[in-house]
Structure 1
Amino acid sequence: MSCFQITSLGAYLLGALDPAERSVFERHLNTCQVCREELIRLAPLPGLLGQVTLADLELPFDDPDPYDNQPLPPLAVVRPAPEPEPKKSRRPLLLVGAGLVLVLLVAAGVFLPRLTGGDATPAAAPPPTTTSAAPPTWSAMDNKTGVAASVAMVSHGWGTEVRLKLRDVPPGLRCMVVLYAKSGTKEIGGWWGTGGTEGEVIPGSSSFAVDGIDHMEVVADQQVLVTLRPPA
């Protein structure tokens, strides 16, 4: 099963949709399971692209073929293999074996309860119950810019899925979230425009593990709007 709007996921993750298109696509995400699953699968894309440098793009792509100008091996005549002889059917033996097993199972079901003095069928154990822990959430408000933010971080095998919410952000800005690891490295977790983002969940991603993130910043036009850190 597919969705014709799944082609907009890449532009959505990279912040290439205008505010009206972004709002329409996010309303579609609320009703489309296919697009939501594909969004989780492509969530690492912005973080991985943020690690690509100009030097990586200038690497040569030409790889000489060691087999160029080499003579081709001579063609060999392949004779067809003889057809195998038909095998004798083992169906009667299998039916006899299945009948013996059925007789033994019936006999065991008749005599085993008499030997044990009760029903030999154990009671079914109740299914185990599992509870998932809530994702860690950081919140902050910058007194200088007046911007408030909260972020929930979901751990995955490839890194961390970021779910960001902002409040009191001026419209018309192009923002990004920058994640700083405890090791000293940093990554860009996503880009978006601020038109119509009040209270909406803004997706992002990073290759850092949740417990390896020191803090993150929401930046617009090289100005830090708000900094989020783990609660004290």
Structure 2
Amino acid sequence: MTTTPSDHDRLRELLGAHALGGLDDAERAEIEAHLEGCAACRAELAEIAPLAGPLASVDPDAAPTPTAAPDDFAAVLGRVRAEEAVVTPLDARRRRRVPLLGAVAAAAVIGLAGAGIGVAASAAGEPPVEPAAVQALDPGVRADAGTIDHTWGVEVVLTASGFAEGQRYEVTVLDRAGRPVPAGAFRGTGAAEMVCRLNSSVLREQAGGFVVTDADGDEVLRSRFA
């Protein structure tokens, strides 16, 4: 698929809405086709996707003004409000488009929810975790996984040890047709157990599983959803 610079810029601006499940079927098909051939947009989506879960529950108008936060946080929050990036936990098909772009979204969620690589925050009253079978392809890795069904997509909860300390790993959710959608990244903690919460815009009913790959692109862990 040949993409002009103007097409690339337009599709890049849709990455935030794609991560939140806010695109219609035609737009989603177009951006997924673009992602297959654009490593830069895949990398950017991988950074945005883990923020989708916390951002979906953020109401900028209801957020308290931090009393001890850096001065630039208020400016970031003001930019979010100015962009009208208001997200409500409605079905993704009924949600209005949100012009969410990387730096503003990241700063807002980090300030409000304390998020990092992989999202560790937990909301009270969240849906139950459904266990998911995993297969470790590295004999040193021990892992359990589960999924949470959200209106904006599927959240993967990964509890594991044995991933090489400090090494970056990519997590990709596969839809039922086997198409990959980035779900974020984490860094290994060696023998210490870690809990990572990673988010994808693929709805749970359309998700077939996920894979974890290392820096060389080799699969280290895979899961197939029931």
Q: TM-score, normalised by structure 1?
A: 0.43
- Which of 1 and 2 has greater Rg? 1
TM-score (norm 2): 0.44
